[in-house]
Amino acid sequence: MNDTILPRDLPTVLEARPDVRVLSLDCFDTLLWRDTHAPSDVFRVLEGPSPMQRIWAEQRARAGALLRHRRNEVGIAEIYAQLLPNADASVRQSMVAQELAAEARHCFGFAPVIALMRDAKARGLHVIIVSDTYLDAGQLGTLIANAAGDDVRALIDRIFCSSEFGMSKGEGLLAAVVKRLGVPAQTILHIGDNRAADLIGGQKAGVQALHLKQFTETTEQRLRLEAATGAMIHVGTTPPDRHSQPHRAPIALGEPQIDDAAEALGYTTIGPLLHGFARWVHAEAERLRANTPGGQVHILFLMRDGHLPRLAFDACLQDEAPTHATEISRFTATASSFRSEADVLAYLSGEMGSNVEAILKQLLFKPQEIAVILRDLPKQAPFPALLRAVRSAPRMKSILARSRAFADRLAAYLRATVAPAEGDVLMLVDLGYNGSVQNRVDRVLREMLQVGIAGRYLLLREQDMPGLDKTGFIDPQQYDAATLEALCGNVAVLEQLCTAAQGSVIDYTADGAAVRSANAIKGRQSETRDAVQRGTVRYVEDASAAIVRPTGPIDLAAMRSSAVAVLARLMFLPMPQELAVLAQFQHDVNLGVQDVVPLFDPAIGRRGLRQRGLFYMRGSERMYLPAELQGEGLAVKLTLLAQKRFGLGLKYADFIDQTITLPILIADGRTVDTATITATPTHDGYYIAPIPIDDCRYAIGLQFGQLYDWVQVESVTFMPVERFLSEQQRSGVEEVVAKPTLEGIEQTAPHLYRCEDAAAFMMIPPPPRRDARPMMLAVVFRPIALRAPSVPSQPALADTGLAAAR
């Protein structure tokens, strides 16, 4: 018979065991679960001792009990005697009470186990608890009542604690319980989460035993990485983070029932994140209602990225708070916002360096007008000429008139879909993270609709201080600027999972209908996203089903810290199964143009690491850099997380702890000189040797033979010096692949070379000169086998006279 049981199978386990007369259950992580990652995380909320002091005190108490009484088990009073050796009894009792109260706040009953207990009582079975714990039976019974309810405590006939027996389940506690009960061991079914204590210990006692398998190894790793990521994110936060994971129980119950990897991603990761967000949005809506006497608060989820948050909200609140799917994009918000020339110039000042055609579309020029303007702009440095063209009186007048008409159509759209009355509040809900839509439409909608505007965001990191009614589930009230910037850096992955499978809104009809662009995303991607969203909604619907606890206020702080850990883990430490789902995704930039870019490209990431190292991989094209680091080891991703989370001002030079002096030849067609270049490490044993070639007059010879028998050459490319030195690296941009010739070097495999002798070298002719910018050669290589030092030859024996002597 299988000795493992999943949570979903607990309620019906007795159906196949008619001979059972006593149901024996472990307590912690079986009947009672905690909403933290590890049991000791509860110690983080204790006032007075640090978590480590509490842990050390228990270790000393157990060591003392073993030394003096030859037992490993202790009671909580003995632990606090070690923690507070000079305190009187009343102080210790107060501290014990504090810990028990903390346990009661963070423990809850696990619904499948409670369903099993009710079934057992209906069958006339006795129900007992057998627990390895430092609590006594009275304390544990009270904790069960406080955490799961008096009705659950009433289902239990007896409680047996290791602290009172002086032995654990692994040391024979279950056998002692069998003896105490006076029933045949085989009529007892014991279930617990610890394989050694509950299954093996139960089998040794002769009882029927089952191991409750909470999670797969993959899930355990994901939760462990969440806790680790959360620990880094929440360093120094107040109050201290307790590694909250309120989603553990729902995931244990629901995840094994999901076979599709995309749906599992939604259930295990996006679901817990958006469940907390939904609860917070509802609380914010209630707060706004309390401050809006006589008016309504309309909850508007901004499409497209607000699509999945809205689905999660509706699943969570079950029509308690009606919502609207409102289509206002950055493009339409900006198009409606130009009231004066100053507004236009403010927009342009933030778009320097952007695509000129996209700028002109945003300013509402028609295609033929855009063609005329583009024709007259210089190819190099077009922005000053663009500014002059836009500021011409006829064109500026056209922009302002068209923007006013656009705003009228936006207002008509909102009247048709939301129908707000004067004095109402429109609560704009979105993922974030700057609130750009609200920045653009706040003034317009207030004036045109006579309503209040409030923005509520999952993640809010504003680039300025506009003074608008904005706040975020995750925002500067709880997290510092470096943390928020770190979370925003990879937000594209979340946007892709939350968006609606439709084109972005680009205009509105006069009677209030949204006009959308074509959807540039592939059908397969939409199917995958649908599965992720299905799993997300399923989690939100299930979130409360696994948890049994007396009714109390929702702990939004715990849901927030848990959500941040979940989000940061997905962004910086994605699991291989998740990346397999996300590999096909492209990102729509949502600016009124049909631009999509790959979400991530592991090949680019690997090449970038080898060519430049981790801290030069900060190009604007990297939408999801940690995904591109998959396969490079946890240390690399943790380094990136630490650098982003703490805003570490480290430079490339700080990571150079060794160099290679590479001998080279420099030829200009008339003379050949020798020199050396310092090569610095990048990643995985690779080095980069940057060699200036000025105006492309010099050929370079790489004298690998002096150093190596075997060498691996990743790339040999030319590029402008300014491109090499730029902190915004863009792989392949302005690079010219070199065409080397080999002298005394044999290529034995792609990138792998054998040097025949110390004179072997690789000659690289310069590229054709393109412009006046100085150029350089970048050589990325990895030593494979060093050349052995030459040993001076020994003179022949005959020459020394020793031959005759021999």
3-state helix, strand, coil in the chain (%, to 5): 45, 20, 35
**3 vs 739: CA distance, rounded Å:** 64
CB neighbour list of residue 286: distance below 8 Å, 6 or more residues apart: none
Residue 595 — very low, low, confident or very high, per pLDDT cuts 50/70/90?
A: low
Output the pLDDT for position 746. Answer: 96
Poorest-pLDDT segment among 31-35, 554-558, 722-726: 722-726
Tell whether the model's pLDDT for residue 26 goes beyond 80: yes
Under 8 Å between Cβ of 218 and 191: no
Q: What is the CA radius of gyration of the chain?
A: 34
Q: Give bridge partners of residue 804 from the DSSP assignment.
A: none
With a CB cutoff of 8 Å and minimum separation 6, the contacts of 469 are 452, 453, 454, 455
E-state strands within 542-671: 547-548, 586-588, 596-598, 660-667
> Coil, strand, or helix at residue 789?
coil
DSSP tag of 222: H
Read off the pLDDT band of 731 (50, 70, 90).
low
Confidence of residue 593 (pLDDT cuts 50, 70, 90): very low
Q: What is the pLDDT of residues 90-111, one digit of tens each?
A: 999 999 999 999 999 999 999 9
> pLDDT for 637-688, tens place per residue?
999 999 999 998 888 888 889 999 999 999 988 899 999 999 999 999 999 9
Report the phi/psi class of residue 319: left, alpha or beta, with left for phi > 0 and alpha for psi in -120 to 50.
left
CA distance 383 to 453: 34
Question: Angle at the Cα of 125 (from 119 to 128), degrees rounded to 5?
Answer: 95
pLDDT tops 90 at residue 591: no
Q: Provide the pLDDT for residue 590.
A: 47
**pLDDT at residue 799 above 60?**
no
Does residue 490 have a pLDDT over 90? no
Q: Say how far apart CA 665 and CA 663 lie, in whole Å.
A: 7
Amino acid at 129: I
- What torsion do the CA atoms of 146, 147, 152, 155 make, to the nearest 10 degrees? -80
The backbone torsions φ and ψ at residue 155, rounded to the nearest 5 degrees and listed phi first, read: -75, -15
What separation in angstroms does the CA of 797 have from each of 693, 782, 802? 52, 42, 5
**Block residue for tokens 């968006």:** 499
The contacts of residue 179 (CB under 8 Å, 6+ apart) are: none
Say whether pLDDT at 17 is over 50.
Answer: yes
What secondary structure does DSSP assign to 717-736, as a single string? EEEEHHHHH-SS--TTTT-E
Phi, psi of 623 (to 5 degrees): -80, -30
Look at the chain and count its residues.
806
* CA 277 – CA 554 distance, rounded (Å): 12
pLDDT of residue 806: 31
Between CA 780 and CA 12 the distance in angstroms is: 62
State the amino acid at position 411 in one-letter form.
A
Tell me if residue 649 falls in helix, strand or coil. Answer: coil
Query: Residue 725's pLDDT is what?
Result: 80
Q: Tokens 């989000």 correspond to what residue?
A: 567
d(Cα 71, Cα 65) in Å, to the nearest integer? 6
| Average pLDDT taken over every residue of the chain | 91
Of the candidates 243, 204, 238, 203, which has an alpha carbon nearest to the alpha carbon of residue 223?
243
User: Cα separation of 137 and 161, whole Å?
Assistant: 6
Is 80 exceeded by the pLDDT of residue 588? no
Q: Tell me 193's DSSP state.
A: S
Partners of 762 in the beta sheet?
Answer: 702, 742
**Are the CB atoms for 474 and 484 separated by under 8 Å?**
yes
Rounded Cα distance between 210 and 4, Å, is: 5
pLDDT tens track for 610-639: 888 886 655 445 678 888 888 889 999 999
Q: How far is residue 266's CA from residue 487's CA, in Å, rounded to a whole number? A: 19
Residue owning tokens 């028609």: 366
How far from each other are the two terminal CA atoms of the chain, in whole angstroms?
82
Cβ atoms 585, 599 nearer than 8 A: yes
Is the separation of the CB atoms in 42 and 103 below 8 Å? yes
Is 665:703 a contact under the CB 8 Å cutoff?
yes
User: Measured between alpha carbons, how far is 461 from 432 in angstroms, rounded to an integer?
Assistant: 8
Confidence check: pLDDT of 150 > 80: yes
At residue 41, the pLDDT reads 93
Helix (H) or strand (E) holding 192: strand 188-192
Contact 176, 9 (CB under 8 A): no
Are the beta carbons of 778 and 611 closer than 8 angstroms? yes
CA dihedral sign, ordered 702, 703, 707, 710: positive
User: Which of 322-326, 397-401, 756-760, 771-775 is predicted least confidently?
Assistant: 771-775
Dmax over Cα atoms in the chain, in whole Å?
A: 121
267-288: burial string, b at 16+ Cβ within 10 Å, e else: bbbbbbbbbbbbbbbbebbeeb
Question: What are the structure tokens assigned to 680, written together?
Answer: 């610095």
Distance from C-alpha of 472 to C-alpha of 284, rounded to nearest angstrom = 10
Q: What are residue 600's phi and psi, to 5 degrees?
A: -160, 160
**Spatial distance between the Cα atoms of 64 and 58, rounded to a whole number of angstroms:** 10
**Mean pLDDT on 578-597:** 69
Nearest to 397 by CA among 441, 365, 439, 356: 365
DSSP designation for 775: E
Statement: residue 795 has pLDDT above 70? no
Indicate left, alpha or beta for 281 from its phi (over 0: left) and psi (-120 to 50: alpha): alpha
- Please indicate whether residue 69 or residue 299 has the higher confidence score (pLDDT): 299
DSSP state of 511: T
Is residue 189 within 8 Å of residue 20, measured between CB atoms?
A: yes
By CB neighbour count within 10 A (0-12 exposed, 13-18 middle, 19+ buried), where does 192 fall? buried
pLDDT at 261: 96
Mean pLDDT confidence for 139-163: 97
Per-residue pLDDT at 594 exceeds 80: no
Q: Which two tokens stand for residue 241?
A: 């983070």
Contact 259, 265 (CB under 8 A): no
Q: Exposed, middle or buried: residue 439 (CB in 10 Å: 0-12, 13-18, 19+)?
A: buried
Strand (E) or helix (H) holding 697? none
CB-neighbour burial class of residue 686 (10 A; exposed 0-12, middle 13-18, buried 19+): buried
Q: Which two tokens stand for residue 131?
A: 């627990």
CA–CA distance from 599 to each of 128, 205, 490 (Å)?
A: 53, 55, 10
Taking Cα atoms as reference points, which of 64, 50, 201, 181 lies closest to residue 128? Answer: 181
Tokens of 369: 């007008």
What's the pLDDT at 800?
36
Strand extents, DSSP E, 373-493: 425-433, 452-460, 470-474
Nearest to 610 by CA among 584, 574, 636: 636
Where residue 1 falls among pLDDT bands split at 50, 70, 90?
Answer: low
The pTM of this model reads 0.90
